[in-house]
Amino acid sequence: MKAKYTLALLLICLASPLAAQKFEGLAATPPMGWNSWNTFQGNISESLIKEMADAIVSSGMQKAGYRFIVIDDGWEAPERDAQGNLVPDPTRFPHGMKAIGDYLHSRGFLFGIHNCAGTKTCAGLPGGRGHEFQDARAYASWGVDYLKYDWCNHGTANAEETYKTMRDALHAAGRPIVFSLCEWGDNKPWTWARDVGHLWRTTGDIMDCYDCQGAYSLGWKFILELQVGLEQYAGPGHWNDPDMLEVGNPGLNEAESRAHFSLWAMLAAPLMAGNDARKMPEQVRDILNNPEVIAIDQDALGKQGSRFMKHPGKQIWSKELSGGDWAVCFFNDSDEAVQLRIDWAHLSFLKGAYRVRDVWQKKDLGRNEGEFRAPLPSHDVVLLRLTPVK
C-alpha cells in the first residue's frame, strides 16, 4: 500500500505545473529593442551587430528604452557540429555567440537570438526541432536574454505542444530568457500562449510599406486591422506582437512612420526597431525616441488599446493608461488630408474633465470641452494624452 502511495505521489509531482513553466517576472512592459531582419535579413555579421549597438547608443535610442539587440535568422553555420550543437557561421561570427553577447552586455544591452521550431530555419539553417533542451543550454551558456522562435519547416508539428517543449527547455536551462513565439498567428496563439511565452506574433511578416500585400507579408495598415479584438489577451508578461517596426525604412514616408509608431504604441506592442541606426535621419530619430509616445506603449497598467470607431477614412483608437489617463489616436487612413472635428462628448470612455496634450506637437491644448479641431494629413495621426483634472 505504501509503495502504491509513493508511486502515486511521484507521478503527481512529475505532472506538477511547477515542472513546466515560463520564466515569470519578465516583459512586464512590451520589450523594446532592435532586430536585424527588416533591413539586413541574412546579411549580418559580428561587426555589423557591434556597429548597430554603438549607433543605438550614440543616437539616444538605448537611453530611450531600446535594450534588446536581437540577431535574427542567418547567424548559424549550415550544419550542426558532430555533437549536434548549433554553431555560428565561422566567417561572419568568428568569435562565437558568447563573445557577441558579452560585447552587448558590456554596452548595457540585452542579447537576443533567433532560431526556429522546425527542422530548418526560414533561411534553411539548422532549426531546433528535436534539439530543444540542447539548444536551450547553449543559449544560456552564451548569455542569451531573448529568444525569437520562428515557425518555418515545422511539418505536421502541433504549434502549442512544440512551443511548450521549447518553453520547458528554456526553463530547465535555468537562465531567464524572454520567449518570443514567431508562429505568425496561424493557430491563434493569443488563446493558448499566455503560459508559454512572453509575446506571440499575431500575423505574417510585416513589409516595408503602408498598405501593400505580398505572398507571406503585409503592410502595417493591414496588420493593424488584424489586431482588432485581440486586446483582451494582452497584459504584463504576455503581449500580442504585430511584428517589428518599419519606421524609417524606405517604403514609408515620414507621416506613415509616425502613424505606424503611434499605433504600435496604442497596441502596447513590442517596439523592435528594424532600421539601419547608423544612417538615421533626424526626423526618424525623433520618431523612435519620442519619450511621450514610448510612455504610452510602456505604460505600467499594461492595457492594449482598442479601436473605438472606424468611419471611411478615419479611425479612433483609445488606450487606458495608469493614473486615470487615456491615450487617444486619430488616424487618417485615407489618401487625402482631412480636418478633424471631434465632439468630446462622443468619446464615451472619457468620464469627467481632462487636460489634453498633443504628444507629437508637444503642446498642452487645454481641456476636453466642446469641439476638438485639428488638421490631419493623409496616412498620419493626431495622438493625444488626456490626464484627469483633480
Catalytic, out of 54, 205, 276, 286: 205
205 CB-contact burial (10 Å; exposed 0-12 / middle 13-18 / buried 19+)? middle
- Order of all β-strands in the sheet with 326-332: 306-311, 314-320, 326-332, 381-388, 354-358, 363-367
C-beta pairs of 212-216 under 8 Å, 24+ apart in sequence? 212/251
CA distance 156 to 159: 9
CA distance 224 to 285: 23
SS3 content of the chain, % helix, strand, coil (to 5): 30, 25, 45
Among the listed residues 116, 82, 84, 86, the one whose alpha carbon sits nearest the alpha carbon of residue 98: 86
Residue whose entry in the numeric block shows the C-alpha cell 510602456: 298
Catalytic, out of 150, 168, 325, 333: 150
User: Which triple of cell numbers denotes residue 174?
Assistant: 535555468
CA distance 194 to 250: 35
Bridge partners (DSSP) listed for residue 372: 342
Active site residue 150: yes
CA distance 294 to 199: 18
Q: How far is CA 10 from the centre of its chain?
A: 40
Active site residue 335: no
The residues that are catalytic are 150, 205
